[in-house]
Amino acid sequence: MPDYDLDLQSIQEARTLATAARPAQLAWAKASQAEVDRVCAAIAEAAFGASERLGRMAVEETGYGVPVHKMLKNHLSSRLLWEAIKDIKTVGVIRHDEQKKIYDIAWPMGVVAALTPSTNPTSTTMFKTLISVKARNAIVVAPHPSAVKCCVETARIMSEAAVKAGAPAGLISCMSKVTLPGTQELMKHKYTALILATGGSDMVRAAHSVGKPAYGVGPGNVPVYVDRSADLKRTARYIVASKAFDHSVICATEQAVVADKPIAAELAELMKAEGAYFVDDAQAQALAAVLFPSGPLINPKTVGKSPQQLAQMCGITVPDWARVLAARLKSVGPGEPLSGEKLTTVLGWYEADGWEAGCDRCIELINYGGRGHSLVIHAQDDKVIMQFGLEKPVFRILANTWGSLGATGYTTGVMPSMTLGSGGIGGAITGDNITVHHMYNVKRLAYQITPPPVEALTEPAAGSAPAPAGSPDIDEIVRRVLAELKN
């Protein structure tokens, strides 16, 4: 390409890839279920086989997270995802209601513009590609500018596997020259039928503002409530491990502990034994100043960092054994910066006396940047768990598991997903874990099961006009007169 301005190169690349994707998708829309499943199995296996290398690439390019944890997320988004969706019908008649005589017929969306984040770049590329192709769509990935190389390589691996298995060339592609104007051009392109956006709030708002169908996800300020009935040893191990996982870059990772007062001291000691270092007030203030220097959005340089890296940035000292940093907080909101979403290894700590007070504190945290997303609860009392499930304004309530791996479907039965909807209350169109079902429309072939009403079939006599609205019924008048004569 000539030495044009990078914005122009990005715009042209978006147009080129979208234009190439269109005929590929039209051809792919004619594939049989067997052909679709053969190609998807091949791309899932190719992505799985490259998971470790792609995980290392993601960390090296972005500076976020832990390579082995990136690999596990890649496993989730390739082989584990395929196991979850492989038997889902996406071609032709997918459901038939014999009693109602309705046939549901799957219909692909078309070309999908997939915006991926820097925090989970390779796993999100794998995930969106697999669910898109399974639903007979084409996909063009628009990576975050700081994660271009690893996303391009991920898409290349999957595309080559797809073509080798019989898919048309151009079905899977990824932008390599990424700028905001280029990404906007992809979203607005005439051949783009659906936008699948995962990333920061500004990017998701931009996706929703284009005027095309879009799935976007909001931030997740996820509280974890620990009830007095909880298995405290397991809870401490789970919270610390989940918060430390990939240095806390998954949006469903625990952001603040709300501990029931009678067990708070014991839980804190157990968490310390698992690697949670409780900072003092001065250290907490230093962390807040560096993590949130100018408002509620986290400093990108602090995202996905170890406690030791954060300590160096903030000019404080933490032990080598620290896996996460916990800060005792008193309030929620702008005056307490660490009460917000922290995509790094810093965890808030609150105490509340009783589950009702814990419920109130959790709702405060959810309303401060996490509406519609997720909540974690550790308890053995099922009544308390159900109350949290019924009352919390979030769409994933995870009981006695990790936030990071539970919400994404690794340790729970929810659909494996790297795009977690936050529903209408969170500014998204759905609260679901986005999966293959969201990637196609459904046509309905419906037979008559109820005859039309006789009145609708009766035609007025030729030349006669219908009675004016409000006119008395002649037959009724005659009946009334005869009745009066008899009396």
CA angle 429, 430, 436 (to 5 degrees): 115
3-state helix/strand/coil string of 354-380:
CHHHHHHHHHHHHHCCCCEEEEEEECC
Can you read off the two tokens belonging to residue 84?
């979850």
Torsion 306-311-312-318 (CA) sign: negative
Which letter does DSSP use for residue 337 in this model?
A: G
The sheet carrying 372-378 orders its strands as 276-279, 324-328, 346-352, 254-260, 222-226, 372-378, 394-399
CB atoms within 10 A of CB 483: 9
Can you read off the two tokens belonging to residue 123?
């796993």
The rounded distance, in Å, linking the Cα atoms of 291 and 285 is: 10
Written as one letter, the residue type at 375 is: L
Q: Are 56 and 246 in contact (CB under 8 A)?
A: no
The rounded distance, in Å, linking the Cα atoms of 326 and 349 is: 6
68 CB contacts (<8 Å, ≥6 apart)? 55
Annotated catalytic, 314?
no
The rounded distance, in Å, linking the Cα atoms of 178 and 10 is: 6
The rounded distance, in Å, linking the Cα atoms of 337 and 333 is: 7
Torsion 260-262-263-264 (CA) sign: positive
The rounded distance, in Å, linking the Cα atoms of 265 and 402 is: 21
CB atoms within 10 A of CB 156: 15
Can you read off the two tokens belonging to residue 316?
């404080």
Q: Are 223 and 361 in contact (CB under 8 A)?
A: yes
Can you read off the two tokens belonging to residue 337?
């910066």
The rounded distance, in Å, linking the Cα atoms of 301 and 299 is: 5
Can you read off the two tokens belonging to residue 329?
């907080």
Nearest to 198 by CA among 44, 414, 421: 421
Q: Which of 150, 174, 251, 359 is catalytic?
A: 251
> So which residues are the catalytic ones?
251
